[in-house]
Structure 1
Amino acid sequence: MLDKRVLGNEGLSVSKIGLGCMGMSQFYGETNDEESIATLHRAVELGVTYFDSAENYGPFLNEKLLGKAFRGIREKIQIGTKFGFIFQNGKVTGVNSRPEHIRKVVDESLKRLDTDYIDILYQHRVDPNVPIEDVIGEMGNLVKEGKVLYLGLCEAGENTIRRAHAIHPLSVIQSEYSLWERNLDDVIRPLLKQLNIGLITFCPLGRGFLTGTVKKAEDYTTSDFRSLDPRFKNENFDSNLSITHRVMELSSEIGITPSQLCLAWILTQGKNIVPIPGTKRRKYLEENIKAAEVILDESIQQELGNLLNNLSVAGPRYEEKMMSLIDR
């Protein structure tokens, strides 16, 4: 069974590896609800307690999937979900974190999840048109009402985090972080340590790039997010393979898989960090969970920490429109 980690000031305790559920319903090719539900059930058997969703995943389909899968075992697991987008014809057309919209979305999420409370509620992306104080004020009201237990923000910057935390304690920040994406190191991670806020890290395997099992962007169908990923395109793909090859070499030397190496490294970065690798298949889930048993010696940790000193990452992590939504 997985050990747990305590995140934040409010006593939130989750499994040291969680499960990102987005790909079960969107963005990573064809879906298979039967296998996804089997994967969710297997995760519970292996000791995973934290499952990450959002109204945006589907949209709406992923929350329904989790509600169906966890019926009757809700007390064994923790669900994080997110609000903050406007949808038209199933596509995101903008952001909306007005207090009345937050309340509406949370009530709808509760119905889809078939539950009367959400363990962690996140603002999915910062809304520049609504003061964060108003956003957190309403989220705090939902905590008082028992509809939400803990609060978090996704991809928030230093100023936003400080202002939000002053209104109501944040338990977690969620952001992309991995061996090849270190954008949090200079400012955000020291800030979270100072304020005693946990960190949930998505895409810890670089959307699969670091595992050595991916293809170029043009080889994916349009239903797969990676067809638009700048790091998977053309010469960026070829350049970034040098990072993957080094990860594969090191993992082979230790006798573990590349994904296990990537996850084990993240777990060495602090007791307040929990990665949530996404998968919709049991075999990859089981492989990922075994990373919690890996012990990396200091020399390997140092080499991985210095990986980007010698190898550079080609391309931004999102295309321009999505990058514009990140509060940093």
Structure 2
Amino acid sequence: MRTTTLGRDGPVVGRLGLGAMGLSYRYAPGLRDRTKAVSLVQEAVDLGVNLVETAGAYAAGENERLIGEAIRGRRDEVVLCTGGGLLGDADGGLRPAGCPQALRDAVDESLRRLHVDHIDLYLLRRVDPGVPLEESWGALAEQVWAGKIRMLGLPVVTVQEARDAEAVHEAAAMAAEVSLFTRCGLDDVVPYAVERRIALLAGAPLGRGLLAGPFSRHDDLPADDWRRTQPRFAPRAIRHNYALTQAVGQVAARHGATPAQVALAWLLRLGDHVVPLPGTRASYHLAENLGGDRVRLTEQDVTDLEFLPYPAGAPEA
């Protein structure tokens, strides 16, 4: 797998990481299996995936506990990414929590749940509208100076907000939902990230499963799946979006690849600093996703992909 670095002097990571959210949060609760989830994380590390992303807000901390169990005895093989600034519950609700004391507490709770003595990359998950960004960022910078965190990452912010935060402490990464189906902010964020040598962590790089191709109808989603509440998975929208995935499949056919692999290859082509974080619960999808690193898109492929109609429905609500 190709590699890059987090920030200017950060650790080397594979260009494809593992997003762990879906292992225990939001997606198909009735299909979850903790033992298999732990095994999948370990399998990913065996295959060379060393950046693993979780968050304290995923399943009220349960996702971090799962990752902590999975990497026990293998801490040195993993660049561990978690984050705070959001409070979550087991039902999927989230709310901002960016006051300094809440963030200090969140870091300590993450360390306990993960059973580690430091976190490699800690993301501020969201800017709290009730707290100046510099105050939230400053509280996390204190945790770096205390040795609890190695590096910090920003959420989706304006370029000016990023500059203001970096006046307090440098950012090694920026995290955003980015995919062929969600490109908002790329025109501003990508050039800034290149300029500052900041890694862009692309969350939900497969459109929360839409670009993987299994969902052609709303009823294809399990009855208890959070995505049923999301606009892009509404009955009319999902039919439109499935047609877009089929168009991606036409590009994939030129390479003997899958739509998911092409979607990841498109992200990787944006720049060496871009690190998609696909998630999965299945070994065969894990192998499929890693195959995206081997797909080399042509200029014609990129043109065809970038002129796709916009998907129906807003991104995550």
Q: Secondary structure at the match of 1:186?
A: helix
Q: Secondary structure at the match of 2:254?
A: helix
Residue 200 of structure 1 deviates from its aligned partner by: 0.3
**1:312 partner letter:** Y
What residue in structure 2 maps to residue 23 of structure 1? 22
The TM-score normalised by the length of structure 1 is 0.91
Q: Secondary structure at the match of 2:26?
A: coil
| Corresponding position: 1:5 with 2:4 | yes
Residue 175 of structure 1 deviates from its aligned partner by: 0.5
| Aligned-partner Cα distance in 1 for 2:47–2:260 | 17
- What does residue range 125-204 of structure 1 map to in structure 2 within 5 Å? 125-204=126-205
**Identity of matched residues, %:** 34
| Aligned-partner Cα distance in 2 for 1:89–1:46 | 30
Residue 274 of structure 1 deviates from its aligned partner by: 0.3
1:188-247 deviations in Å (ceiling 9; x for gaps):
112222222110001111111112211434553453121012011122222222311111
What residue in structure 2 maps to residue 255 of structure 1? 256
RMSD: 1.7
| Aligned-partner Cα distance in 2 for 1:246–1:257 | 11
Residue 290 of structure 1 deviates from its aligned partner by: 1.5
1:158-197 deviations in Å (ceiling 9; x for gaps):
3321211111000100001111211122211122222221
What residue in structure 1 maps to residue 211 of structure 2? 210
| Aligned-partner Cα distance in 1 for 2:178–2:135 | 28
The TM-score normalised by the length of structure 2 is 0.94
Residue 156 of structure 1 deviates from its aligned partner by: 2.4
Cα distance change on mapping 1:93 and 1:196 into 2, 3 Å: closer
Contact 1:59-1:90 at 8 Å conserved across structures = no
What residue in structure 2 maps to residue 51 of structure 1? 52
Contact 1:133-1:163 at 8 Å conserved across structures = yes
**1:115 partner letter:** V
| Aligned-partner Cα distance in 1 for 2:95–2:186 | 29
Cα distance change on mapping 1:34 and 1:188 into 2, 3 Å: same
Cα distance change on mapping 1:241 and 1:85 into 2, 3 Å: same
| Corresponding position: 1:285 with 2:286 | yes
**1:160 partner letter:** E
Q: Secondary structure at the match of 1:67?
A: helix
**2:54 partner letter:** S
| Aligned-partner Cα distance in 1 for 2:274–2:44 | 19
Gapped regions of structure 2 (runs ≥ 5): none
1:292-325 deviations in Å (ceiling 9; x for gaps):
1222223222322x233xx222111123xxxxxx
**2:307 partner letter:** L
| Aligned-partner Cα distance in 1 for 2:99–2:47 | 39
| Aligned-partner Cα distance in 1 for 2:66–2:131 | 31
Contact 1:205-1:263 at 8 Å conserved across structures = yes
**1:237 partner letter:** I
Q: Secondary structure at the match of 2:108?
A: helix
| Aligned-partner Cα distance in 1 for 2:219–2:183 | 26
Contact 2:232-2:314 at 8 Å conserved across structures = yes
Q: Secondary structure at the match of 1:256?
A: coil
Cα distance change on mapping 1:24 and 1:93 into 2, 3 Å: closer
Q: Secondary structure at the match of 2:59?
A: coil
Contact 1:217-1:228 at 8 Å conserved across structures = no
| Aligned-partner Cα distance in 1 for 2:93–2:237 | 27
Contact 1:14-1:50 at 8 Å conserved across structures = yes
- What does residue range 103-114 of structure 1 map to in structure 2 within 5 Å? 103-114=104-115
1:62-114 deviations in Å (ceiling 9; x for gaps):
10001111111101101111111235786646321111111111111101001
Contact 1:18-1:50 at 8 Å conserved across structures = yes
